[in-house]
Structure 1
Amino acid sequence: MMGEPHSAAIQLVDQLEGHDDRAWHVAWNPKRPILASCSADKTVRMYHYHSKSTTEEGGSELVFAHSTTIPTGHAKTVRAIAWSPSGKTLATASFDSNIGIWAQDEDENAGDTTGGDAEWECMSLLEGHETECKSIAYSAGGNLLASCSRDKTVWVWEVHPDYDFECMGVLMEHSQDVKCIAWHPTEEILASASYDDTIKLYLDDPSEDWYCFATLSGHESTVWSLAFSPDGRFLASSSEDLTVRIWECVQEHKWECVKVLEGHERSVYSVSWGKGKGTGDGSLGWLASTGGDGLILVWELSVASPAQGGGKSTLSEKTIARLPSAHDVADVNSIVWCPREGYEDMFSTAGDDGIVKVWQVKPN
């Protein structure tokens, strides 16, 4: 595999330093040119980016600049962050068991797409988890927020005006620490991954509460990360067992494993599924993974033959780019594609070295 030729290369765009401890997670603002990162140092750092012309004819490069640091006030590590779909609100999940909701004074930023200079303020503090919060995510519609914790629970919150949040359900389906949650890109379906080696899928029952409608088993160890495909038909999961699994919705409320991806030599801590810039027939976008081996892999996934009559589809995968030692000898904790149009080939990583890096996938 080491000598396998790849159709693209992963190039470093920028290296963003400043955290005093390990960097856990990164989040791209979906509407504005802002990248946020969080750390064991209890802060959130934000960077603005823009294109700058180069000396080459018609050439340009992306420039990132640190804009602000939020001293969150969390008593412990900030483990995860999530932007609302509007890009106006940022949620922080901390090992102190609390969730912070952050926003700026909109009057001070009128007409400014970059976020301006207005300070980020904590508008709400959500309490309820008994111990470390591990992951947090807004639904695609922005009306729901989900959180998960070492206390084995998943909470679903309804988002109300004026930064008011109402708990709509406490899901206690996992038998161990819940590591990650992810929302379906178009439907109100929530997925969670756990130390108990399983993935749970949840729906809201109009007549009752949120409930688990499926348990996905197959991983042989902790499931660390989840990512739905951009079209919502598939779900990727990464694990301590060194694999990435692809699950397909083969019929309503039924998901089955259709592909197992290998290539990592240590725990796969993070997986992200973006639209990418693939143009082949049946392309499902680009899937990126990273973890304890410091390796970044980028696959292009395609549907080779669609499912017939509720059966499984046949997927084909191609490793289009591979980069070892992305953060030197440090573990890489998070990898996230930029969701903004025009930046589909750009992603960011966060490592145990406290550094955040921005990368671009470029054809060879």
Structure 2
Amino acid sequence: TGKPIKTLTGHTDSVFGIVYSPDGKTLASSSRDNTIKIWNINTGKPIKTLTGHTDSVFGIVYSPDGKTLASSSLDRTIRIWDINTGKPIRTLTGHTGYVYGVAYSPDGKTLASSSRDKTIKIWNINTGKPIKTLTGHTNSVRGIAYSPDGKTLASSSADRTIKIWNINTGKAIKTLTGHTDSVWGAVYSPDGKTLASSSFDKTVILWTVTEIPDLQGNK
């Protein structure tokens, strides 16, 4: 019908991020009010409000198993939350600028984050320590996405490019150019063959990524 089913209200400022849980029963939202809310889809009511960030919460993502939630904030940290308790499990620190994007790897063992400090960090979930720092963008890195097979990572930046990274080597395999303004979002298709990017230039571009040579980082 294209008609709204429910309107979820409760945040006291702009809502930036929104994501469904893997089982589709709950929804998480991140806000400029420094909080994350977990919502019951059926009732439209908030189940929990997660507090701890000291600035706007931007990115938000459920772990593949749905047991934890990761959030990125303008307070320069990433937090991992226990869904059942609503408590933070650990706080990941290391970025020197706002943290915009956050993404779990398909196997749930690592987390990627993108920042205004022009870098992407790959984190070990269990230790909370950074495994790699990916450098190459010349401006803020906004969007971040793992490929479905977990072997590559796509990042979008205010430098008007998208970069495809090899996870194992931490090196950029390809730089995609074509946008004429900041690139905000990046997302892989479920089959991993195409990538979509959204930009301040008012366009969405679809890229064929299966044709990128050396996608596995082999020489």
Asked whether the 8 Å contact 2:174–2:212 carries over to 1, the reply is no
- Provide the rounded CA distance (Å) in 1 between the counterparts of 2:8 and 2:109: 32
The within-5 A match list for 1:272-283 is none
- Aligned partner of 2:59 in structure 1 is 80
Local SS of the residue matching 1:11: coil
TM-score (norm 1): 0.57
> 2:194·2:210 contact (CA, 8 Å) conserved in 1?
no
CA shift at 1:40, angstroms? Answer: 0.5
Tell me how far 1:176 sits from its aligned partner.
0.2
Q: Which residue number in structure 2 is paired with residue 213 of structure 1?
A: 173
Give the drift of 1:70: 1.4
Q: Deviations over 1:30-73 (max 9, x none)?
A: 135110101010011111123xxxxxxxxxxxx422211112x2
Q: Is the 8 A contact 1:191 1:199 kept in 2?
A: yes
Identical counterparts, % of pairs: 36
Contact 2:194 2:208 (8 Å CA) reproduced: yes
Q: Is the 8 A contact 1:133 1:148 kept in 2?
A: yes
Q: Which residue of 1 aligns with 2:158?
A: 195
Q: Distance in 2 between matches of 1:174 and 1:19?
A: 33
Q: Kindly indicate whether residue 95 of structure 2 is the aligned counterpart of residue 129 of structure 1.
A: yes
> Alpha-carbon deviations, 1:96-133, whole Å to 9, x = none?
101111004xxxxxxxxxxxxx5311110100000100
**Is the CA contact 1:33–1:49 (under 8 Å) kept in the aligned structure 2?**
yes
1:28 aligns with 2:35: no
C-alpha displacement at 1:253, in angstroms?
Answer: 3.7
Match for residue 150 of structure 1? 116
SS at match of 1:210: coil
| CA distances 1:247-296 after superposition (whole Å, capped 9, x unpaired) | 002435479xxxxxxxxxxxxxxxxxxxxxxxxxxxxxxxxxxxxxxxxx
Show the counterpart of 2:46.
66
TM-score normalised by L of structure 2: 0.93
Considering only CA atoms, is the larger Rg found in Structure 1 or Structure 2? 1
Q: Match of 2:87, SS?
A: strand
What is the alpha-carbon distance in structure 2 between the residues aligned to residue 132 and residue 44 of structure 1? Answer: 17
| Cα distance change, pair 86–253 in 1 and its aligned pair in 2 (3 A) | farther
Determine which of 202, 207, 211 is the counterpart of 1:247.
207
Q: Shift in Å at residue 159 of structure 1?
A: 2.5
Structure 2 counterpart of 1:181: 144
Change (3 A) 1:139 1:253: farther
Q: Distance in 2 between matches of 1:74 and 1:244?
A: 31
- Alpha-carbon RMSD across the aligned residues, in angstroms, is 1.6
Contact 1:37 1:45 in 2 (8 A): yes
Tell me which amino acid in the other structure corresponds to 2:95. Answer: H
Number of residue pairs the alignment of both structures matches: 215
- Contact kept? 2:37, 2:50, Cα under 8 Å: yes
Answer yes or no: is the 8 Å Cα contact 1:214–1:254 preserved in 2. no
Structure 1 position 27, deviation (Å)? 1.2
4+ residue runs of structure 1 moved beyond 2 angstroms? 249-255
Q: Structure 2 unaligned segments of length 5 or more: list them.
A: none
Whole-angstrom distance in 2 between the partners of 1:254 and 1:241: 30
Instruction: Say if 1:91 and 1:101, in contact at 8 Å, map to a contact too.
Output: yes
Structure with the largest fraction of strand = 1
Tell me if 1:12 matches 2:1: no
